Amino acid sequence: MGPGIIKNENAGMKMFKDMKTVEERILNSFYHFRWKLPIIQSDNVVMEDEVEKECQIKKVEKIIEVVNLTKKFGEFTAVNNISFYVNRGELFGLLGPNGAGKTTTINMLVGLAKITDGKIFYKGEDLTQNIKKAQKFIGVVPDESNLYEEMTGYENLCFCGSLYGLSKKVRKSKSIELLELFGLSDVANKKFKEYSKGMKRKLTIAAALIHEPEILFMDEPTTGIDVASARQIRNLIKDLHRKGTTIFLTTHYIEEAERLCDRVAFINKGEIIKIDTVPNLIEQTRESYIVEISFEESPIEKIRQLLDKLNQQFNDIKCFIKNQTTIKVISNNKINISPVINFVSKEGFFIIEAKLIKPTLEDAFVKFTGVEIDMMKKEKEKK
């Protein structure tokens, strides 16, 4: 083993020790040796092989890798130089407000939008110019159901199977299987236009699974449907994830991302602000003190004015709107809440409760992006 190799190995080991979890160590060492370090010949190959082997055991493989991806529509930059990867079997969430660039990112990844700049790798292969090749092993659930209104649920599934070249026998049996799995057997022969929104969304997911894709892209899968259907869909997503399907999910429901995702990327104004595992993101907010102040429902404009005043009056706190009855006060230091409460009260708000809360992914999102959650939900619902 030559000195140069020892040096590189030491650098690698230092980085290795700094990593928090075993999985992260393996992942990062794999990434480090494969992409960052100069190619090292001879003895070190053994170590690289060992790392790769270990990665295989842990089933850590970058199934999607996006490098410096950019999308411009004329002068407007919808997605600005974003990079991330998704591991095989992972449930990766892209979380951001309306217009953040989530759908544009998915569209580029699945071949519905051209790429202005950057690269997309699927299973390590650069498919930037040939997304059609990736379409064989990806399934897409768009934000709005896009099946044929005049066809029955069963016909829609069979037709979608035929688009991937499945034989008649296979697509028939797969369609029946999926209709059963999604609890749609009873309405299999009903026209798609007669389905409820929840049923439509379930059939759209089923249609995306007909060719057994390795990666499933889901764009806002629970938006605009009733609570019960949304819960069912979340359970289906969990099941698919458990069975090993890689899922790329975009959502503006933070609780959904928190409950489902392994890793989450916060995206806003076309840029990725932060990527990490859900526990790590929450952990980074843990140093913060968060107080939730609840009051009787007030007009949003009035609350906005209050926030402006609060942020001006108190230098060491940052306030955000949660909804029309609650604001969140975040600080890196212990909060002396009495003056804040007095101030809010003097501004004409009837305070019901003030409590110190444990940070959630929502707090991490607010901290890193500065986006108001309530506004984000309302904008989406309006859309």
Q: Where on the chain is the footprint of another protein (CB under 8 A)? A: 73, 110-114, 132-133, 135-136, 140, 142, 144, 146-151, 159-160, 162-167, 207
Of 112 and 351, the one with the shorter C-beta distance to another protein is: 112
Size (the chain), residues: 383
Of 166 and 237, the one with the shorter C-beta distance to another protein is: 166
Identity of the residue numbered 154: Y
Distances (CA, A) of 379 to 76, 99, 100, 181: 20, 10, 12, 33
User: Strand, helix or coil at 357?
Assistant: strand
Neighbour tally for 353: CB within 10 Å? 10
- The Cα 106–Cα 90 span in angstroms is 16
CB of 150 to another protein, least distance (A): 5
Of 56 and 167, the one with the shorter C-beta distance to another protein is: 167
CB of 106 to another protein, least distance (A): 11
Distances (CA, A) of 89 to 202, 245, 299, 310: 21, 5, 44, 45
CB of 161 to another protein, least distance (A): 9
Of 52 and 99, the one with the shorter C-beta distance to another protein is: 99
Exposure string (b/e) for 79-90, b if CB count within 10 Å is 16 or more?
bbebebbbbbbb
Of 151 and 375, the one with the shorter C-beta distance to another protein is: 151
Q: What is the Cβ-side half-sphere exposure of residue 308, based on CA atoms within 13 angstroms?
A: 6
CB of 355 to another protein, least distance (A): 45
Of 147 and 376, the one with the shorter C-beta distance to another protein is: 147
CB of 319 to another protein, least distance (A): 39
DSSP for 247-270 reads: EEEEES-HHHHHHH-SEEEEEETT
Listed in order, strand segments (DSSP E) in 37-185 are: 62-73, 76-87, 91-95, 117-122, 125-126, 138-141
Of 22 and 163, the one with the shorter C-beta distance to another protein is: 163
CB of 169 to another protein, least distance (A): 12
CB of 72 to another protein, least distance (A): 11
**DSSP bridge pairs for 251:** 95
